[in-house]
Each structure stands twice: as C-alpha cells, then as structure tokens.
Amino acid sequence: MKYFFTNFKMFFAMSEMRQFMQKHKRDLCDLAELRHVQLGMFPSYEQLYFLQQELQETNIELGAQNCSTVSTGAYTGQVAVASLFDLQVAYCLIGHSEARLYLSETNDQLIQKVKMLLSANITPVVCVGETLQEKQDGYTLQVLFDQVESILQILTLYKDATIFIAYEPVYAIGSGVTPTLRELQNIFTFLKKLTSDAGFAKNVMFLYGGSVTGKSVHMLNQIDDIDGYLIGSASRDFQELKKIVLSDYKVLETDQQKRLQMRN
Ligand code: PGA
C-alpha cells in the first residue's frame, strides 16, 4: 500500500474546496480505487464536515491538520479530538513545521496529542524535519532523533497502534528543493533503524513531504523505505496529484490504472 495524503493547508477557501470536489470528485475516487493506493485528504477545519459528507462511500479517507492538546473546556479557537472523532476523521497531522513555527507547537504538546489521538482511534501523522541551518551545521540526525524518540516511547502504552512519521525537511517545504537521493536514503535508513531498535518496526509508517511533485516523485520512488507522501502545494492541482499517484510502479500494474489512462 502506498499513501498519498494531501495537505491543503489554508490554500482553499470553502467555496474553492466545493469547486475542487465538483470538478474532480469522480477522478479522485478512481485514483483511490487503485489497489495499492490509499488517498487521504487533509482540508482545513471548517471544510472537514463538507468533505466528510462528500467522501462517504468512497475509498478516500479524511484527515485533519491539527488538534488541541486538551479534551474540552475554555480554549477559544481550538478543536477537540472528540470533534474529529465525530467527523470520522481517520488521520491527524501534528508537529507540522508551520504549526511549530506559527503556533509554537512543542514536542511536549505533540506527546499529549499523540496520546489523545490514539485513544480516539485516530492515526497521528507526526511531522519531523530539520531546518536548513541545522542541516548545514550537521545536526540533521540529532534533530530527528530528538523529535522521534519521545513519540516512540508513547507506543509502549499503545502496542497495537499505527502512527505515521512524515519526514519533511523545513527547507524543502514549498520551495521546489528536495534533499538528494543519497541524503534521503540515509535519513530513512536512520529513522527505520530507530523505530525497529525500539521494537516498533511494525507500528510506524514513513512518509516524505516537501516539494513532492509529478517531477520530483520519480527520484523519491527509488527509496524503498518510503510508504507514501505528504503533498502540499501540488495537491491543489488535480493533474499534478494524479501524476504523483500514477508514478509508482506498483500502481501502474493495476487494471484500473489502464482504465484511467484510456479515459484521457
Ligand atoms: P509542499 O508542502 O508539498 O508544498 O512542499 C508539504 C507540506 O507542508 O506538508
């Protein structure tokens, strides 16, 4: 199975999300029916209900872009995990670098969020990644270790849980720049070893995010340790999203893909 998660960030207004679905719902559903594809759509909060209705009886899953660290109470502007649960949200992004930067999200808050999400049966997608400065100073693996280690410890309490770790180098997000194949191979080997040494090889799936496009995906597909992609800017353009999904050789093998190609 390969995962394709669209991080729509705050790109679409409500009316634009409606237009996007009106135009592309059928094609999105076709993509999601491919045997090796799991498509997940992560809209901003106010669009969750709309998408939840749209995605009923499709193979597309719903994801949220964040959640509160607390379950209920006087927390103006926050969204509770219980609401995400009611909306049948399957996944929730946490620790995205834009949330770490603009909402001051900390590693301690992430631990709390992972626990709350797992208790509600929502799969956390924990974003990790170093800044360009940290990379240039040679701290990439140290930063990743610090971000991932505490999350792995939580899994000792939730032995059957699955979580996603999305490696998103901060300098690659929205920039058109991606790390080299070699850099990525080293990083994913490191992350895999970290999780298997902790005894959680089966519990953790790995995504890559940061300027995933129809073009960059060919290099990324060469990395066996990547289970899927977190796609930001490119997910606004259905044709680009389709190129990304259909670039994978496992997907290409299926009959439905031939049908999709014939339709164009
Ligand atoms: P990008 O964003 O694809 O626009 O680089 C990815 C992300 O922020 O998740």
Nearest to 198 by CA among 163, 167, 169: 163
Confidence at residue 251, expressed as pLDDT on a 0 to 100 scale:
60
Q: Give DSSP secondary structure letters for 7-58.
A: E-TTT--HHHHHHHHHHHHHHHHHHHHSTTEEEEEE--GGGHHHHHHHTTTS
Catalytic one of 98, 105, 130, 168? 168
What number is the average pLDDT over the span 116-133?
98
d(CA 45, CA 52): 11
Q: What distance in angstroms lies between residue 101's CA and the mean position of ligand 1's atoms?
A: 14
CA separation, residue 84 to residues 20, 27, 32, 62, 65 (Å): 22, 26, 22, 10, 10
Q: Quote the strand ranges of the chain, DSSP E.
A: 2-7, 37-42, 61-64, 91-94, 123-128, 163-167, 204-209, 228-231
Does residue 116 contact residue 69 with C-beta atoms inside 8 Å? yes
The pLDDT tens digits for 13-30 are 999 999 999 999 999 999
Q: How far apart are the first and last CA of the chain?
A: 25
Confidence at residue 170, expressed as pLDDT on a 0 to 100 scale:
98
Please confirm, yes or no, whether 96 is among the known catalytic residues.
yes
What number is the average pLDDT over the span 148-156?
93
Confidence at residue 159, expressed as pLDDT on a 0 to 100 scale:
86
The pLDDT tens digits for 132-149 are 999 999 999 999 999 999
Amino acid at 95: G
Nearest to 65 by CA among 10, 12, 107: 10
Confidence of residue 261 (pLDDT cuts 50, 70, 90): low
Residues with CB under 6 Å of ligand 1 are 7, 168, 173-174, 209-212, 230-234
When the pLDDT of each residue in the chain is averaged and rounded to a whole number, the result is: 95
Percent of the chain surpassing pLDDT 90: 92
The residue whose CA is least distant from atom 7 of ligand 1 is: 232
Percent of the chain surpassing pLDDT 70: 94
Confidence at residue 256, expressed as pLDDT on a 0 to 100 scale:
57
d(CA 214, CA 246): 9
What number is the average pLDDT over the span 158-185?
97
The residue whose CA is least distant from atom 3 of ligand 1 is: 232
